[in-house]
Amino acid sequence: MTAPTEPGRVCRDCGATSGLVMRPYGPLDPPEYECADGCPPLDLDALDALAAAATDGPWTAHPDGLVWSPLIGDPVSGSVLPEDAALIAAARNALPALVAEVRQHRAAQQPTAPAAEPSDRQLLAAAHRWARTHGWRVTWRGWADGLSDGTVGVGWEHGELRIWRSYTTPGSSDRRWPTWSTDYPVASVRQAVDVLVALDVLPAELSSAYRAAVASR
Ligand SMILES: [Zn+2]
The confidence score (pLDDT) of residue 147 equals 61
Distance CA 208, CA 155 (A): 21
Cβ atoms 67, 75 nearer than 8 A: yes
The number of beta carbons lying within 10 Å of the beta carbon of residue 109 is: 7
Strand partners, 35: 20
* Amino acid residing at 92: R
Going from the Cα of 47 to the center of ligand 1, the distance in angstroms, rounded, reads 16
The confidence score (pLDDT) of residue 151 equals 84
Going from the Cα of 39 to the center of ligand 1, the distance in angstroms, rounded, reads 4
Q: What is the pLDDT along the chain (217 residues), one digit of tens a residue?
A: 444 555 678 888 777 788 888 887 777 778 888 888 888 877 778 878 888 888 888 888 888 888 888 888 778 887 767 777 777 888 888 888 888 888 888 777 765 555 567 777 788 888 888 888 888 887 777 788 876 567 888 887 777 888 888 877 777 777 777 778 899 988 888 888 999 999 999 999 999 888 888 888 7
Cβ atoms 114, 186 nearer than 8 A: yes
Cβ atoms 142, 154 nearer than 8 A: yes
Strand partners, 175: 168
The confidence score (pLDDT) of residue 198 equals 93
Where exactly are the structural domains of the chain? Answer: 1-40, 44-108, 112-215
Strand partners, 151: none
The confidence score (pLDDT) of residue 2 equals 45
The confidence score (pLDDT) of residue 110 equals 61
Angle 42-156-46 from CA coordinates, rounded to 5° = 25
Going from the Cα of 202 to the center of ligand 1, the distance in angstroms, rounded, reads 42
Going from the Cα of 12 to the center of ligand 1, the distance in angstroms, rounded, reads 7
- Helix count and strand count (H, E) for the chain: 5, 12
Strand partners, 116: none
Q: Are strands 66-68 and 60-61 parallel, antiparallel or unpaired?
A: antiparallel
Pick from 193, 206, 204: nearest CA to 114: 193
Strand partners, 22: 33
**Angle subtended by helix axes 82-109 and 44-53, to nearest 10:** 140
Distance CA 200, CA 208 (A): 14
The confidence score (pLDDT) of residue 196 equals 92
The confidence score (pLDDT) of residue 129 equals 86
Going from the Cα of 214 to the center of ligand 1, the distance in angstroms, rounded, reads 56
